[in-house]
Amino acid sequence: MSIQQNRINELVERRAAAKLGGGQKRIDAQHQKGKLTARERLERLLDAGSFEEFDMFVQHRCTNFGMDAKHVDGDGVVTGQGTIDGRLVYVFAQDFTVSGGSLSKTMSEKICKVMDLAVRSGAPLIGLNDSGGARIQEGIDALAGYGDIFERNILASGVVPQISGIFGPCAGGAVYSPALTDFTLMVKNTSYMFLTGPSVVKSVTGEEVTQEELGGAAVHASKSGVAHFAAASEDEGIATIRELLGFLPQNNREEAPFLPTNDPVSRVDDALNEIVPDNPNKSYDMYRVIAGIVDDGRFFEVHKDFARNIIVGFAHMNGRSVGVVANQPQVLAGVLDINASRKAARFVRFCDAFNIPLVTLVDVPGFLCGTQQEYGAIITNGAKLLYAYGEATVPKVTVTLRKSYGGAHIVMSCKQLRGDINYAWPSAEIAVMGAKGAVEVLKDVEEQEYNDLFCNPYQAAQKGYIEDIIEPRNTRFRVIRALETLAGKHQEVPAKKHDNLPL
């Protein structure tokens, strides 16, 4: 055999060995926990045959605690590039079979390399986390590695979409990389995120809590809002990431991909003419309205289980990606509270950063009142949403379906926050407050008189605060036409180093 052939054979063998990570035993252990390996995850995430791996032979440089005798090619993370639906993405997936996926300085260098490439090439970054945190044997070097990653997360923010999948442990300061990215997805029962685990919590606060109760997917998807998605399985999680990317552009200079549809622009939905109940205290389902106006009724929801009084997510309208923000009258009457404001503000800012037009559907009775909300800073949190809409320069089309009262009216993409096209249904009530509240303050005013004057869209229409009052069944057509006329929109903001949004 020639020397060259020997060398090629050696390469093939070394590649095969590197692909086994921490070895078959640990791979089996990973499977027994109901988890996939890093490579299996990437295989499912990326288009078949598209993955190109980088730094497969990289090894750590630690000599402490006998680590110089423990080398595994790749050092616990698989990194590289591939495509999803034919579009370039950069990826890293931590390999729990190698030192529990713990982060060494070398691992961070591998991750930073793909992060830098993602920004330079203008392509999304997807990180799949499954790690015991900082590699303890490396001490401060491992911490520095996290710092390097965090800094890149920050610099990449608003430049390329960043998506974090949590497929195992993610604890301690390691949680801050996902927190800095745009979307975090967790897998139920096999992933968790917390700053300190149950045993530390017990010793510090005396509180007894399981891993799942403290930082499982269900908790973060419904209570803290840390996770935007909670998948029932790894396969579902990977499919969700792939689907999400279909609504996003590659970077902040591009448009999201066009998705052709057979759903006619002029499709009317007669049921929308009847959807708002005559009784203002009765609710209806905002999901039905969204389905009635977007292409093929297909809505990709973000933060589905968190702050359900507001709905946010992506859809297509005549093939173009849009961000939908809608109050949900079925949950807390659609009131804006701290969590709803935070949730929608973050979504609006994402859409604005990535050129995705905003469609806002309004039915909001106001902000939630009371000590809990005030002590929790509803003022600052409500201002986040106000700020997000006010600074957004993407096309903004707003439809007021029913209530639009007080401060909440202003916040929900009103004209004065540079709303481009604002429509109202005939059932809209655009006013300082509802009739009941108003007559309690203004004792000499009759409820009927107030209703006649304010609880309709005509005051707003007379003053040009809305462009038109539209028939509900025509909403799809009207919104699409508005979006198409705004496709070339360009709006500047005053020069500044950066803003100081109320955090």
Residue closer to ligand HXC (CB basis): 88 or 143: 143
Cα 319 → chain centroid = 21
Strand partners, 53: 80
Sign of CA dihedral 231, 237, 239, 243: positive
Q: Least distance to ligand HXC from the beta carbon of 126, Å? A: 20
> Concatenated DSSP letters for 363-432?
EE--B--SHHHHHTTHHHHHHHHHHHHHH--S-EEEEEEEEEEHHHHHHTT-GGGT-SEEEE-TT-EEES
H helices within 136-257, ranges in order?
140-156, 176-180, 198-205, 211-215, 217-219, 234-245
Distance between the two ends of the chain, CA-based, in angstroms? 67
Q: Least distance to ligand HXC from the beta carbon of 134, Å? A: 4
Residue closer to ligand HXC (CB basis): 99 or 381: 99
Catalytically annotated residue among 122, 147, 173, 319: 173
Cα 471 → chain centroid = 32
Residue closer to ligand HXC (CB basis): 173 or 297: 173
Residue closer to ligand HXC (CB basis): 169 or 365: 169
Q: Least distance to ligand HXC from the beta carbon of 150, Å? A: 7
Residue closer to ligand HXC (CB basis): 143 or 218: 143
> Is 172 an active-site residue?
yes
Q: Least distance to ligand HXC from the beta carbon of 132, Å? A: 2
For residue 47, the 8-state DSSP code is P
Spatial CA neighbour of 284 closest among 269, 294, 272, 302:
272
Residue closer to ligand HXC (CB basis): 75 or 295: 75
Residue closer to ligand HXC (CB basis): 219 or 289: 219
Catalytically annotated residue among 230, 408, 428, 461: 408
Residue listed under structure tokens 């804006």: 336
Q: Least distance to ligand HXC from the beta carbon of 167, Å? A: 13
Distance CA 259, CA 404 (A): 33
Catalytically annotated residue among 172, 292, 382, 419: 172
Q: How many CB atoms lie within 10 A of CB 199?
A: 8
Joined tokens for residue 469: 């009052």
- Residues binding ligand HXC (CB under 6 A): 99-100, 102, 132-137, 143, 146, 169, 171-174
For residue 450, the 8-state DSSP code is H
Q: Least distance to ligand HXC from the beta carbon of 24, Å? A: 14
Catalytically annotated residue among 158, 406, 407, 437: 407
Q: Helix, strand or coil for residue 312?
A: strand
Identify the H or E element spanning 461: helix 458-462
> Is 18 an active-site residue?
no
Joined tokens for residue 186: 């967790």
Q: Least distance to ligand HXC from the beta carbon of 213, Å? A: 16
Catalytic residues: 172-173, 407-408
